[in-house]
């Protein structure tokens, strides 16, 4: 099982690779149910939230991002969001990797936005895009 640290993810997952992987996934498809939100009581602090975000490609991979949002963490010098991503084999269920969920999110955000903009731009009629440039 791999357990790459945030720095290794930063050094390995460049924007182009992430964009290409997201593009392939968007074309090939995957199952991604609506995320689960769970309220967590924290003694003498505001309530926290646990987010569960599963997704899978049948027969290939299963993954889940678990993010805990603790709004009062700043008072103990910790980030408000703590997250982990677990990757499993879609054939055996074997745990393949445990990764820093916050760093994966940071590495995914810009490529996902670029990919979405590319898809939208491809569907914009030329007259509209000319008008948009003129404005």
Q: Where are the domains of the chain?
A: 6-134
- pTM confidence score: 0.77
pLDDT tens readout for residues 29-63: 889 899 999 999 999 999 999 999 999 999 999 99
Class of domain 6-134: alpha beta
| 55: its two tokens | 């997704």
Q: What does pLDDT average to in each consecutive run of 10 residues of the chain (135 residues)?
A: 72 79 80 94 96 94 96 95 95 94 84 82 61 50
Q: Give the CA count within 13 Å in the CB-facing half-sphere of 117.
A: 8
At a CB cut-off of 8 Å and minimum separation 6, what does 67 contact?
50, 51, 53, 81, 82, 83, 101
Residue 97 class from Cβ within 10 Å (0-12 exposed, 13-18 middle, 19+ buried)?
Answer: middle
């Amino acid at each position: 099982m791999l357990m790459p640290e945030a720095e290794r993810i930063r050094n390995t997952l460049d924007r182009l690779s992430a964009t290409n992987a997201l593009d392939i996934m968007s074309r090939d498809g995957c199952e991604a149910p609506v995320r689960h939100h769970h309220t967590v009581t924290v003694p003498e602090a505001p309530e926290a939230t646990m987010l569960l975000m599963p997704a899978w490609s049948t027969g290939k991979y299963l993954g889940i991002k678990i993010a805990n949002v603790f709004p009062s963490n700043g008072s103990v010098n910790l980030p408000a969001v703590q997250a982990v991503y677990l990757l499993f084999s879609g054939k055996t269920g074997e745990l393949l990797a445990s990764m820093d969920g916050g760093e994966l999110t940071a590495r995914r955000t810009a490529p996902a936005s670029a990919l979405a903009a590319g898809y939208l731009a491809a569907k914009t009629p030329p007259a509209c895009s000319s008008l948009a440039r003129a404005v």
